[in-house]
Every structure is written in structure tokens, then in C-alpha cells.
């Protein structure tokens, strides 16, 4: 079967989204499944996803489960079908909020915990090197805490009023 131009565009998008996903800290297959469902006009079942991406059932199931747990995909019932079907959240603001919350949970919160531990351990050491280390770690933790607060504020609201204000500042 010949690919139409629209099929080629979707295929290119899925491949590129997969490549970007690995740069964002998620695996390529997870990003490709998400992309496939983002550009699919109908919900897809696991077999259709496996065929479209040439992946194993185990790989598909693991990544589908993760994407559902994040809230980027949902399982839907298709009338007359016994298999589970999946569709992607398509509201880009909601996608952004979900990803921001997940990245905060997986990346910046653990980083802050490590920084706080190191700050507390370095505080009691009286050498000049320890004081400089403590100062640097404290500054870094302040920044991570600020980033966490900003992500939390932005991601906590649908269509946050904060974003247009930030965009005005940047223009």
C-alpha cells in the first residue's frame, strides 16, 4: 500500500517526536506511541500501535501503562470491540501541565532533596572550601526551588493567567 502525503507527514512527526522524547528524558518508544496517538483521528488498540511502530507487545504494554499513569493517554471503549483502545490527551496546555508536573516529580524534586542533604552536611564544616561549597549549593538550591515553584504555579491551572503575563514580559 502506498503512503499518502498525510501518512508520510504523520510518520515523520512520530519519528521526530520519538527522537525528541529521548532528549527530554523519556524513552523513544514512549514518545512515539504518544505521537502516534496525538495524530490519530481514532483511538487505537495495542495491536494497531504495535503494527504501526513495529514494536513488541511487552514494549507496547509497558509504555501504554506509563503514558496512561502520567495522564497523557486514556483507555477508551470502542463500541463492538473487546480490545482496549487508547487515545491521547490533545489539549496542548494540558499536555504541557502533565509533563511539567511529571518532570518536577522525577527530576527537580529529587535534585532539591540531594541539594538539601548536601547543604545540611556541609553547614557544620568550618573550612574555607566547605563554606564556598555550602554557598554554591545553597544558591543552586534556591534556583531549583524557584524553578519548582514556577512549574507548580504554571502547571496547577488550566490556561494559567501567568503565561500571558510572562509572554508580555518577554516581548
The structure's pTM equals: 0.76
Question: Do 51 and 126 belong together in one domain?
Answer: no
d(CA 120, CA 118): 5
Residues 72 and 134 in one domain: no
Encode pLDDT of 44-91 as tens digits. Answer: 999 999 999 999 999 999 999 999 999 999 999 999 898 999 999 998
Percent of the chain with pLDDT over 90: 64
As a whole number, the mean pLDDT across the chain is 89
Is the residue at 147 inside a domain? yes
- 76 φ, ψ to 5°? -130, 155
- The 10s digit of each residue's pLDDT in 140-169 is 999 999 988 887 877 776 565 666 666 677
Are 67 and 87 in contact by the 8 Å Cβ rule? The answer is no
Domain that holds residue 149: 92-158
Name the domain count of the chain. 2
Amino acid at each position: 500500500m502506498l503512503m499518502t502525503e498525510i501518512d508520510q507527514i504523520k510518520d515523520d512527526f512520530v519519528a521526530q517526536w520519538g527522537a525528541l522524547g529521548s532528549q527530554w528524558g523519556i524513552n523513544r518508544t514512549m514518545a512515539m506511541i504518544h505521537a502516534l496517538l496525538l495524530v490519530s483521528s481514532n483511538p487505537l488498540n495495542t495491536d494497531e500501535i504495535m503494527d504501526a511502530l513495529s514494536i513488541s507487545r511487552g514494549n507496547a504494554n509497558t509504555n501504554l501503562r506509563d503514558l496512561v499513569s502520567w495522564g497523557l493517554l486514556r483507555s477508551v471503549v470502542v463500541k463492538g470491540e473487546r480490545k482496549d483502545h487508547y487515545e491521547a490527551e490533545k489539549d496542548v496546555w494540558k499536555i504541557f501541565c502533565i509533563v511539567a508536573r511529571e518532570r518536577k516529580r522525577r527530576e527537580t524534586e529529587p535534585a532539591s532533596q540531594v541539594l538539601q542533604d548536601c547543604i545540611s552536611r556541609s553547614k557544620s564544616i568550618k573550612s574555607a572550601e566547605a563554606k564556598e561549597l555550602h554557598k554554591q549549593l545553597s544558591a543552586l538550591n534556591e534556583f531549583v526551588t524557584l524553578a519548582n515553584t514556577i512549574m507548580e504555579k504554571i502547571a496547577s491551572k488550566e490556561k494559567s493567567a501567568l503565561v500571558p503575563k510572562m509572554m508580555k514580559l518577554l516581548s
